[in-house]
Each structure stands twice: as structure tokens, then as C-alpha cells.
Structure 1
Amino acid sequence: MKLRAHYTMKVKSIGSIAFFQEDWMELKEALRLAKYIDKKEPQSLLSFEDEKGAMWSVKELEKLNEELKLEPDQLQVYFDASFHKETGDAGLGTVVYYKLGEDAYRFRKNHPFQGTTNNEAEYAALFEAVEALKNLGASRNSVTIRGDSLVVMNQLKGEWPCYDEVHNKWLDRIEAALKELKLTPTYQVIDRKQNAEADQLARQILANVPIESTLKLEADGAE
């Protein structure tokens, strides 16, 4: 969950002065800031804006923080597809990095798929990734989604039009699933090298190697 602060400080002989933070911060950072300001300026007024424009009081964020301790946080999704045009066979690869409390995890899964185009397979891979987020219990949070398909990623961001009826149906399904989970996506285009993990998963299922695993990571992100 990304937040930015709205801060009103009362100054003698001047009155109230309002400040607005441009940079986004994580929920825990926001609560640390709130604690610091309460200690230094107990008479000040502090609230936080989330990515959807909703305003939160410090007490509301403290309550939300307790609830989210049991839900995945700092969500990062990688997705990819491997498609055989001659047969329509495709492999879908999805990777989710997340934190649960103070611990970091990686979830990986691949799926077989039958489609008409590589782009459709890419959309299907992302939909499976969103389903994985749902199964992990993710909700009311931000998620960074990374993929290497310029067409799919730019259509997801709304920067490129989508005229294909099949692709539009996948777009609608993905957006509806994210909305149901109250997840706010940020889409980032990456190169194939950066997406190697999801690509490998997609290729492995085409070789009849199904994979589904959850791995706890070390503090430095190593396995």
C-alpha cells in the first residue's frame, strides 16, 4: 500500500500551515512518520492519501496495519508465456514475490494453456498470477506487475488501444479480479532477461514439467 502525507502545522502568530508530500511511502513508513510527528508536534494535524485518493487518519492506518499483518504485502508479480503458433499450445509462468510479516517469500507456478495468439497467452498468464494473489490472501494493497510484452503491458496501462475481442475479454477479467481484491496495480515493462524466471516456468510446462512452490527467502532475498 502506497501513501503520502498531508500535514498541517500550527504556528504561533501565523496560524495553520499545510504541507503536502509528493513522494509515496509504504504503510510502515507512514506510521513511523506519524509517530515522529506526534512526538515533535502533538498539536499538528496529519492524514494520509492512498493511491486511489482516499484519505486515512493515523488511527485508521494503525487498525489497517494490524489487519494486514496476516496478509501478503509488498507484492511483486512477474508473468510470461511461451506459445507454439502451429499447435496453439502455450505455457504460462507466474512468479509472485511478497512479504508476510517480516518474512519474504517467492511463489512460483506454471500452467498449460490452449490459445490463438501469443498475446492471449500473455494475458492468460497474468490472469493466473492474479488468481495466485487471491489464493495467497492478498487484498487492499498495491501490486507491481512486470512483463516483457510491450503490447500487453501498454494495453493494460491504457496507453495502447485494444481492438481484439478476445484480448478485451482478458483485459476485463484481469481488471475485475484486481478490483474484487481491492488491489491497485502498477505496470512495469521489463526486458526478457529480467523476466527469465517466469519465462523458464512457461517453457517447463510445455516440456511437461509442472511446478508449484512457495519458498521462504533469506533477508537479502537469496533462496
Structure 2
Amino acid sequence: MKIRIEWTYKVPKSREAVFVSEEMAAAEALVIAEDLERTGRVKNLHFSDQFDSSWTVKELKAYLKGIETEPHNITVYFDGGYERTTRTAGLGCAIYYEQNSKAYRLRTNAKLDGLTSNNESEYAALHFCLQELEYLEVHHLPVRFMGDSRIVINGLTNEWPTIEEQLIPWANRIEEKITKLGIQAEYELIPRKENAEADKLATQALHGVTIAATSEVIR
């Protein structure tokens, strides 16, 4: 979860000034806030998340303690590949998350028959990632979804209408799964080269190579 710190700074015998920080990780924001409070010149300190919900220091500490043993700080990369002659799709998914003060990466893929276009494979790939999040028991947390498909990203952020008939059911399934898991979804369109990992997983699935691996990421 990304957090902004908002506080009022008071200089003795002078005016007060209100400051707002840049967005940062919740744990980092808490460390900075506690350091600010030690100056003795800060009041009305609170936090705001990316959804404009307000948090006190006590509430943020409780939140961080509560999610420590569960997957959190989650970023998902997805990509779909499509073979027209066989109407076969390859779905690639890479999930980065933290749990028990360690960082992990889940890499997985799948092959799916009977789709009609590359755009449909992209939607199917995102739905596949949501299924993996469900297996990880991710729920009621913010999640960043990164992909290089304008159709998917702009469709789910309502910047573009979803008008292709075969895509509407996928968009509905995705929204239903997100609602069921209570996920606060944030979508970001990224260049294809930044999505190389998910693209490779999708290509491997098309070639019959199945990947399902979780590894610790050394920071």
C-alpha cells in the first residue's frame, strides 16, 4: 500500500505550515512519521492512502502487523500470447509480493484453447493471475496490475469502452473476481520490454513448457 504523510509543522513563535509527502511504502512512511514526531514540532499528523482513506499512526501500525504473515505489497505482471492457426493462447503471470519480512516471486503460466484473438488472451491472462492470487489467499489488499495491453488496461480503467463481444465476459469475470477478493486494483500500462518476464512465460506455455515456481527475491 502506498501512503502519503500529512502533517502540520509549528515553529515556536511563528506560523504553522502544512506539508504533504510523496507516496511511499506504508512501512517507510511510518518510520519517517515517527522521526518527525520526535522533533516535538509536529501536530495533526496522519496518513492518506492511494484511495484517499485516512489513517492514524496507531491504525497504520495495526495494519502492518496484521498483514505481516500474509502476502502483501503485491505487484502482478501479466501477458497473453496467441497462435491464430491453432486458436491457442499462452498465459503468463509473474507475482511479486512480501511475506514474513521476505520478498518472493511467483512465476506461472498456462495454455488455453478455443480463444479468438490476442486481445482475448490478454484478458484471460489477467483472469489467470487473479486465480493465482486467490490460491495465495490474497484478499482485501491493494494490488498493482502491470501489463502492456492497452485494450485491457484502458478497458478496466474505463478509459476505453469494451465493445468486442468476446471480451465482455472476460471483463465481467475479472471484475467479479476482484470484488469477491476485495482487491483494490491499480492498473498500469507498461512498455512491452518491461513486461518481458510475463511475455516469456506466455510464449513458453504456447510451446508446451509449463512453469510453476516460487522463489525468494534477495533485496
Q: CA deviation at 1:11?
A: 5.8
Secondary structure at the aligned position of 1:205 is classed as: helix
SS state at 2:167 partner = helix
- Partner in structure 1 of residue 84 of structure 2: 85
5+ residue gaps, structure 1, are none
- Kept in 2, the 8 Å contact 1:4–1:23? The answer is yes
1:171: how far off?
A: 1.9
Counterparts of 1:127 and 1:20 in 2: how far apart (Å)?
40
Partner of 1:193: 193
Counterpart of 1:116 in structure 2 is 116
Question: Deviation string for 1:71-130 (max 9, x for gaps)?
Answer: 223222111111122222111110111222332211011111121211111011011112
CA contact (8 A) 1:94 1:125 kept: yes
2:37 and 2:154 map into 1 onto residues whose CA distance is 42
Tell me the TM-score normalized by structure 1. 0.87
- Give 1:217 deviation, angstroms: 1.8
Cα distance, 1:183 vs structure 2:
2.9
Q: Amino acid of the residue matched to residue 132 of structure 1? A: E
Which stretches of structure 1, 4 residues or longer, exceed 6 Å deviation after superposition? none
Residue 153 of structure 1 corresponds to: 153
Corresponding residue for 1:3?
3
Q: Give the AA of the match of 1:112.
A: K
Task: Identify the residue that residue 163 of structure 2 maps to in structure 1.
Answer: 163
Does structure 1 conserve the Cα–Cα contact (< 8 Å) formed by 2:105 and 2:216?
yes
Partner of 1:72: 71
User: How far off is 1:20 after superposition?
Assistant: 4.3
- Structure 2: gaps of 5 or more residues: none
User: Larger deviation: 173-182 or 52-61?
Assistant: 173-182
Secondary structure of the residue that 1:164 maps to in structure 2? coil
Distance in 1, Cα, partners of 2:171 & 2:40: 47
Question: Identity of paired residues, percent?
Answer: 38
2:51 matched residue in structure 1? 52
Structure-2 change in CA distance of 1:124 and 1:133 (3 Å)? same
Q: CA RMSD in A?
A: 2.2
Deviation per CA, 1:169-202: give whole Å up to 9, x if none.
Answer: 2223223323333333332222332222212211
Aligned counterpart, 1:100: 99
How many residues get paired?
218
Give how far 1:42 is off: 7.1
Q: Is the 8 A contact 1:147 1:153 kept in 2?
A: yes
SS at match of 1:126: helix
Over residues 143-164 of structure 1, what are the superposed CA-to-partner deviations in whole Å (9 max), with x where a residue is unaligned? 2222122222222222222112
The 1-side partners of 2:160 and 2:110 are apart by 27
Q: Greater CA deviation, 170-179 or 60-69?
A: 170-179
Contact 1:6 1:18 in 2 (8 A): no
8 Å Cα contact 2:139/2:183 also seen in 1 = yes
Aligned amino acid, residue 103 of structure 1: K
Amino acid at match of 1:148: D
- CA distance change for structure 1 residues 171 and 20 in 2, over 3 Å: closer, same or farther? farther
Q: Quick check: 1:51–1:184 contact (8 Å CA) kept in 2? A: no
Structure 1 residue 34: deviation in Å? 2.5
